[in-house]
Amino acid sequence: QAKYLAQGGVVGAQVVGRAFMRALRQEGGASRAAADARGHSERPQSATASRIIGISLQEAQQILNVSNLNPEQIQKNYEHLFKVNDRGGGGSFYLQSKVVRGGERLDEELRIQAKDEKEKGGGAET
């Protein structure tokens, strides 16, 4: 009887695991589609970053609860949200991964802006 109970538990865990992975794939696809749809209104480099990372700049700002691209505020919110959603403390791996993707997207946008400013500054001096 214990053998059947254990087998039932294993099968149940497999079913839940497959459903979870399917949901993650669907969310990723939906996020990419939304980023592509919004990407047409963004600058070309920014739209490319949205497609590569899978979320738009606007979504990343919402995830990390920032209204502007202030590196200190982004880092502060990122660290707080990452820690709060740590699985070891009862948090959600899914939410923690969204925080990571949001941080990556905002870091990429900051990099794009710095590159643009450097190019504009370099072009003005010559």
User: What is the pTM assigned to this prediction?
Assistant: 0.59
With tokens 């995830």, the residue in question is: 63
> Is 1.10.1040.10 the CATH number for 43-122?
no
Buried/exposed code over 20-43 (b: 16+ C-beta within 10 A; e: otherwise)? eeeeeeeeeeebbebbeebbeebe
Dihedral of the alpha carbons of 74, 66, 32, 30, in degrees to the nearest 10: 130
pLDDT digits (tens, 9 = 90+) for 30-77: 776 665 665 444 566 777 777 777 888 899 999 999 999 999 999 999
pLDDT digits (tens, 9 = 90+) for 68-95: 999 999 999 999 999 999 988 888 999 9
